[in-house]
Structure 1
């Protein structure tokens, strides 16, 4: 009876947190609506994938994307409904709290360092998306910038944190969730299902530019999009955010929903200096910050749900990151950047 009562209390608490999270998102979106109305959207002029006539048109497009995110979460829960919840490994609550402070401070420093180094080399700021990726100023990006961007993110967010935690703290790769004995077949089925669904949605609703490329452009541009994004954003996200940070969010909060929200917020913060952000005035900064939240919070939440439901930080990378959207949407950008002419 005591166990059943604890389970019921946990379910009630989870439902409350879900309602709080949804209410919070609606409240933030309402505030952003008035921000867009007052200041417009200076980043719209940066030639995103789709041309927008007004800031409000962009706002409602963001909301449509978020609504699809809620639908996708429902599909993920449905697909994984028969799974036994496999927990990611993490230290105790006290240790997790101390390490979270260190890791979040490191994340802020790494973003600022990326800004400084990017400007020092004459590039865009080094953030979690390559300039022109997904949404932004699709100006020509040189191969050198691509290499610096991908190497920096891979080393700073994937290699160094793992090396530090292993050598300084004594963790193993298994304890850091880098390797595990998960159900490969089960996870592969989830990956394939989400990959197919999301590919159809993105090609049909976001951009079908990939379908207008020649086979040679798709092959070479797709390989470049896959390779650079794999090391520049997909692996860093899987390692730093979902193998290391996310389990510590869970340990500290002891909640089923709050870590998912934190995962969405952390994923948003990792893109703080994306190339389309505009800082020239307080209004432009406020609007850009609002758009940053609408652009990345829900994808971060979806990735968190995939990680939480499967207990595997690598599932989201293959199902909902490196191929969709980055190969599906970014291939034309790499074709242009590498000057792969149609022959």
Structure 2
């Protein structure tokens, strides 16, 4: 049957659909596409394959099954995927790229809360707010907690950023109004490019040796696994802070644990390796580390930002305008 609006199906977990595809979102989609009612949480049943056979675009989310060659064989009309989250590596396979399927991601929208979280943690770390709050609660006395110590505070401190990723770039934008020196390690960015981002290009060891806070925004690739190891951590000055909101395996967890337990360094870890750490892991009781449950990314009403971008992408594509936030095949691995 001919139609003027493309057929769109949802492919994600039920939990993700409940979080991002609310009635108002469905209504907006239905203004420009034919939205199929069935939620695809798998691609193997006869009912799922019936929906796949019609779909021209899949609106995907967390929990979407892999779009491998077997799934694509049952989706002959599929031409595009719009993802309501960041990385597409979990479900967009080589078979998709080989077939020329267009892909969009909401990674730019998800970078916003991660960068906001990072900025807050950088400023809190340099003020040692978490430690002061802990000691104040314990002592019930301000004596010795309000300090003129020159190693405390945000005035002209040095912040190291690992990778000019979407998040890393946004963090540098947010740091711009503050009187901070920013060093950037990214082998793919020139000195001029770093300057345009408000940073000074530096080698990895230099970033660690010179920074009061180092924030990791590097995607996990074979080349970046264990990028932050014992030599880099040893180069950090006493009392420095490592922040990781990227992937736990970018950092040598064993080496970092040893430094934190020694009391020499501090850390803010929104991700670890493994994630979650075992129940008996010493970092659970270590006062030098703030562990958070991978919450820097979009949470609560921040999910609305992701789906707003994805819906706008679907509407653009349906109008023949193409995606505003495409994922080119050569860049797909760089989405953390």
Structure whose alpha-carbon radius of gyration is higher: 2
Between Structure 1 and Structure 2, which shows a larger proportion of helix residues? Answer: 1
State the TM-score, normalized to the length of structure 2. Answer: 0.24
Higher relative contact order (CA 8 A, sep 6+): 1
